[in-house]
Homo-oligomer: A and B are copies of this chain.
Amino acid sequence: MNQKKEYLDRCVELAAEAYQFLKNSTVKDRAAFMYAVADKIEKLGPELIETANQESALPFPRLEGEKGRTIGQWRSYADAITTGLYTEARIDLANPEKGKNDIRKYSIGIGPVVVFGASNFPFAFSTAGGDTASAIAAGCPVIVKGHSGHQKTSSIMAAVILETVQEFGWPEGVFGHVLGNEVEGTNTKIGAYLVGHELIKAVGFTGSYWGGKSLFDIANQRKEPIPVFAEMGSINPVFAFSHILEENPEQLAKDYAASLTLGVGQFCTNPGLFIAVKGDGLNKFKKALQEAVIGISPAKMLNQGIYDHFEKNKSLLSNQPSVEVLSESNTLAENGQGRPTVVHTNAKNFLENEILSEEVFGPFGLLIEADTYEEVEKIAKELNGQLTITFAGTSADVKEHLNIFNIIKDKAGRLLFNGMPTGVEVVYAMQHGGPFPSSTDPRFTSVGPDSVKRFVRPLSFQNWPNEFLPEELKNENTLGIQRIVNGSSTQNPINSQS
């Protein structure tokens, strides 16, 4: 399915018009809208889950959980903006004796945002997902390019948002929904066209490195470059150390196998790489891992394209020199199913062969058996940027390997002490995003209320009469938001007589 250029232009123009409305809305206005969207998603009947299941092959309980998470995103981001945390209001009052002006600054939505739905999260990272919720929270209209893998699901979610726009009497361009592949009569992808459009001011994306990087390049080659927040995946290394491997190798193996194969391995935070030094502990871990993986059944992947990529990349890595299969599910996979597989090699081989650092999206793990901790340190140093890195160890392990702890701080957005990286909580302290190439901009998260920060810019007003200031900056502080007034944080109004 293709779309006419005129149709896309109209979508963008409507979004630009709606921005003129949204930029003068308050955090309270937008929070009310977001609560209404959340309520509507909550009330959607079984059709939503059934449709998503048909389109994505994701099981019902997972989809129910993801629906709950999606609703939670709208609500928690709405809660967060009403505190003023992302308004970042700063007021420096005039001091004529010192020649100081009255200057007031706040964060305003950056403009229309294009959001790309992700294949692996039809709710939470797609049409009504976190990028859309955070952009609207910031005061930006959104145009979603729905993912081809779940167009019906996308349309159900779009209808919910559009219905809310209507009920609130907001301009229709607050939300736009575009499906399809190319701009009619051209070879230009719809996504590329939208990102290149001069009225678009930012981009949210979750997907492959090549997809994200190509949008990033388009955005930076525009006459007016714009920010692209692309979360592009990661191999999420797990570094396991001697004490933990000696103390409880079986539990670690079970946890690792479970995380590696959760959701058929189709998570950005899937722990595709496991590094440890040879020894008794590692031998026990390997044995337990073999047993765990053997017993995990293959399951249907999101779509044929993702399955084909999985098979291709799995065999590419598996067939590299000195790479051997450690364990596979003992059930053969049907076409379209991902078969859990773990391969292993030595550290020297890993360090010499860049292909072994490639992400294999699916239930595939690579175990590196190092001879020494010097090799482990070298691997840590050579790593590309990651969304997460896990330090599997005891406190004694950390103390013995502070050098490695220090190195991995530079390589990831989130560092785990034990546990597994799958399961990204929607909280203030979450960082989902990491050094390039795991994302295009490690300075921002795409999960948690802080994701709102991606879509604002500061605007200062100097010596404006109170009546013309945005509500967020007026003396009265009717919104009750936290503001920094003359350097101190306060919710108090400003006494205009002072």
Query: Per a CB cutoff under 8 Å, which of B104, B427, B428, B440 touches A429?
Result: B104
Given A442-B457, A443-B458, A482-B489, A429:B465 Cβ within 8 A: no
- The stretch of A325-333, A344-352, A362-370, A430-438 in contact with B is A430-438
- B417 touching A464, Cβ below 8 Å: yes
Given A428-B90, A468-B405, A487-B428, A419:B460 Cβ within 8 A: no
- A92 touching B464, Cβ below 8 Å: no
Query: Per a CB cutoff under 8 Å, which of B101, B103, B419, B450 touches A458?
Result: B450
- B460 touching A430, Cβ below 8 Å: yes
Q: Please, what's the 1-or-0 string for A455-487, where 1 marks a CB less than 8 Å from any CB in chain B?
A: 011111111110110000000000000101001
- A418 touching B463, Cβ below 8 Å: yes
Query: Is A145 an interface residue, CB under 8 A from the partner?
Result: no
Query: Is A91 an interface residue, CB under 8 A from the partner?
Result: yes
Return chain B residues, CB-CB under 8 Å to A456.
443
Least distance between A118 CB and chain B CB atoms (Å)? 21
Given A105-B429, A417-B461, A417-B462, A436:B224 Cβ within 8 A: yes
Least distance between A349 CB and chain B CB atoms (Å)? 23
- A409 touching B108, Cβ below 8 Å: yes
Query: Is A227 an interface residue, CB under 8 A from the partner?
Result: yes
Least distance between A401 CB and chain B CB atoms (Å)? 11
Query: Is A114 an interface residue, CB under 8 A from the partner?
Result: no
- B395 touching A430, Cβ below 8 Å: no
Least distance between A49 CB and chain B CB atoms (Å)? 22
User: A459 vs B442: C-alpha distance in the bound complex, in angstroms?
Assistant: 9
Query: Is A225 an interface residue, CB under 8 A from the partner?
Result: yes
User: A160 vs B23: C-alpha distance in the bound complex, in angstroms?
Assistant: 45
Query: Is A216 an interface residue, CB under 8 A from the partner?
Result: yes
Q: Please, what's the 1-or-0 string for A21-58, where 1 marks a CB less than 8 Å from any CB in chain B?
A: 00110000000000000000000000000000000000
Chain B CB within 10 Å — which of A103, A108, A428 has the most? A428
User: A212 vs B461: C-alpha distance in the bound complex, in angstroms?
Assistant: 26
Query: Is A110 an interface residue, CB under 8 A from the partner?
Result: yes
Query: Is A358 an interface residue, CB under 8 A from the partner?
Result: no
Nearest opposing residue in chain B for A225, CB measure: B436
Given A395-B467, A463-B417, A463-B419, A429:B23 Cβ within 8 A: no
Q: Please, what's the 1-or-0 string for A76-93, where 1 marks a CB less than 8 Å from any CB in chain B?
A: 000100000100001110
9 more CB-based (< 8 A) A-B contacts, given A92-B428, A103-B427: A91-B429, A92-B429, A101-B425, A216-B220, A227-B441, A413-B457, A414-B460, A429-B460, A431-B458
Which residues of A does B touch, CB under 8 Å?
20, 23-24, 79, 85, 90-92, 100-101, 103-105, 108, 110-111, 216-217, 220, 224-225, 227, 385, 395, 398, 405-406, 409-410, 412-419, 425, 427-431, 435-437, 440-445, 450, 456-465, 467-468, 482, 484, 487, 489
5 closest A-B pairs by beta carbon, nearest first, are A431-B460, A90-B428, A103-B429, A414-B460, A92-B427
